[in-house]
Amino acid sequence: MGKLLGRVFVCFTIMLISFNGYSSQIFIIWPWYGREVSVDLLKLIIPFNFLLAMLWWNYYLCIMTDPGRVPPQWEPDVSDKQDFEINRLGKPRYCRNCKRYKPPRAHHCKDCKTCVLRMDHHCPWVNNCLGLYNYGHFVRFLFYVDVTCSYHVFMITYRALSSTKNGFWVEPDPIELVFLIMNYVTCVPVLAAVGAFSLYHLHCLLGNSTTIEGWEKDKVAKLVRRGEIREIKFPYNLGMMKNVKAILGPNPLLWCWPTVPPGDGLSFEIVQDGEYTGQWPPEDPATRMDENHIFTLPKDPWTYGNGSFNPDLHSGSSNHGLRERRGSPTSRQRHSYPYTTEGGQTDGTYAVPPYHPDYDESQPSYGHFSQPPYADGDEDEDEDEDARYYEDRPQRRQFIRRGSEGYEVHAIDREEMMRRYVESQARLGEAGRYRPYVPERWESEEDEEVEQIPNGLSVQG
């Protein structure tokens, strides 16, 4: 996402916070108290403005704080397992874009064009990456959005309920009523959306994981369910209290106050259980690569990867191509499929593929013609060459149509589909609902009498 589009998101967020934060006080609360300063008014709006100020402060820190970058000359200490992570080849992770090593939990951001320490994700609402040094501000920002919006809804709801005091409806001013409705429309959806987002990041905070690591844990859990790898514990989950202190600071009294997180982002404490091998996420066995494998392109495009010749590739002569082009319009309208006889020789073409319901192995089809389009004898000079080619050519491999689960899908016509459907309905307790109609021959009573008389007697009569 471009920086210009990110600035549009930031401007929209600023306008939304400003509208909900100040229009409710100017056009709803202030007229309600008679446009005079009072103790009750201050008791109501001072806590709200404090929460709003903390929201602004943390949002500003999310935008302006650098998430953390990898030092230019940093190199991992291979003697310390906590100082680096390895890739699939067993070597320290290296960024080819930044031309430097990656510390643990660092990732390259294509929007910021740099490697970010303990990268969580690139957030368009703050137009910045969320990493080591501003993720704590982002968590506080979400917390203050939830608390401030809840207080805001309580405040305008208290104003709306005051209109029904003593059982009588006291209609507010038109402007006050319009802003009351608009504040509900803009604040309640924000509270619902940000509240759900806050729950997810609270889960990440308590587990000391990032959004990227959450995706990786889902992938690992899928591999464990399949039985491809053994279950492994997330190495950075140190316990709930230590996980929160690693983000919001060591002092719980200052968790709601903007502070600098501990650590330098180049190494992290891991679980001391003896199972961590320095690689997270664990390697997928299906993508395991050999360290000594070197990929090279084949020297000839007409060969397989191992260098053997591909017998299915054949460069026909120019006369053969001309014959196909001027033979029949069906050659341009549809594909043809080879028809192989019992002797292994190709004797014609089919107009439909082998898995088509109309495919018949006994009879080849030539479209609108009963014989090959170019069987008029005008191309006799190339028949011997083509015959030699097809005689030497091995029989084509029979393709099998398979479904998403890998099982073979057999060809089936409409009558077979109908029969299976009727049988399935009968098994479900609806026997007798579908009965095939078999027309009977209609015969009159006179015909029945005639049929009972022998032919000779019938003629005499």
Average pLDDT of 83-99? 74
Give me the pLDDT at residue 299, please: 58
Tokens of 395: 């029989």
Cβ count near 113 (within 10 Å): 9
Average pLDDT of 170-189? 90
Q: Is the pLDDT of residue 399 over 50?
A: yes
Average pLDDT of 245-268? 91
Give me the pLDDT at residue 317, please: 44
CA atoms within 13 A on the CB side of 9: 15
| Contacts of 359-367 spanning 24+ positions with Cβ under 8 A | 359/411, 364/339, 366/328, 366/330, 367/328, 367/330, 367/333, 367/334
Q: Is the pLDDT of residue 142 over 80?
A: yes
Of 109, 115, 123, 204, the active-site residue reads 123
Q: Is 346 helix (H, G, I), strand (E, B) or coil?
A: strand
**pLDDT range class, residue 82, cuts 50, 70, 90:** low
Q: Is the pLDDT of residue 339 over 80?
A: no
Average pLDDT of 205-227? 90
pTM of the predicted structure, to 2 decimals = 0.62
- 366 or 417, higher pLDDT: 417
- 381 or 236, higher pLDDT: 236
Minimal CA–CA distance to 10: which of 50, 82, 62, 45? 62
**pLDDT range class, residue 435, cuts 50, 70, 90:** low
Clarify whether 98 is annotated catalytic: no
Backbone angles phi and psi of 108, in degrees to 5: -90, 130
Give me the pLDDT at residue 439, please: 67
Helix (H) or strand (E) segment spanning residue 32 = helix 30-32
Q: Which range among 108-117, 343-352, 383-392 shows the weakest confidence by mean pLDDT?
A: 343-352
Average pLDDT of 139-145? 96
Cβ count near 110 (within 10 Å): 9
Give me the pLDDT at residue 342, please: 47
Q: Is the pLDDT of residue 308 over 60?
A: no
Q: What are residue 52's DSSP bridge partners? A: none
CA angle 311, 316, 321 (to 5 degrees): 140
242-257 per-residue burial string, b: 16 or more CB within 10 A, e: under 16 = ebbbbbbbeeeeebee
Backbone angles phi and psi of 402, in degrees to 5: -125, 150
Backbone angles phi and psi of 203, in degrees to 5: -60, -45
Q: Is the pLDDT of residue 129 over 90?
A: yes
Taking all residues of the chain, what is their mean pLDDT, rounded to a whole number?
A: 76
Query: CB of 54 within 8 A of CB of 143?
Result: no
